[in-house]
């Protein structure tokens, strides 16, 4: 799933997996919270192919705001360093 997102390929995943948070955060796919709704979600996507294009554009245009200094600061906070 991570590889797909990094290449701009939207994912359809279950709402019962941890990766759902990433897909939601990036708005890079479709999360099915209720397994009984899977058929309806697939149908909705097939009827509206522009949904996939929109998600793909969001993924391909994503610019991470992460940098080494931010990471180091968070790490130091976690381990109690100043």
Using CB atoms within 10 Å of the CB of residue 43, give its burial: 0 to 12 exposed, 13 to 18 middle, 19+ buried: exposed
- Name the token pair of 26: 């990036």
**CA pair distance 11, 55, nearest whole angstrom:** 9
> Is the pLDDT score of 82 beyond 80?
no
DSSP strand pairing (11-14 vs 29-32): parallel
> Is the pLDDT score of 81 beyond 80?
no
Would you list the domain boundaries of the chain?
2-79
What does the pLDDT look like over 13-71, one tens digit per residue?
A: 999 998 999 999 899 999 999 989 999 999 999 999 999 999 999 999 988 777 788 77
**CA pair distance 19, 56, nearest whole angstrom:** 17
- Asked whether the whole model's pTM tops 0.75, one would answer no
């Amino acid at each position: 799933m991570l590889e797909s997102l990094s290449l701009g390929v939207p994912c359809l995943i279950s709402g019962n997996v941890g990766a759902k948070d990433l897909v939601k955060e990036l708005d890079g796919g479709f999360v099915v919270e209720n397994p009984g709704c899977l058929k309806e979600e697939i149908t909705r996507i097939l009827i509206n192919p522009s949904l996939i294009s929109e998600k793909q554009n969001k993924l391909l245009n994503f610019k991470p705001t992460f940098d080494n200094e931010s990471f180091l600061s968070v790490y130091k906070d976690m381990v109690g360093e100043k």
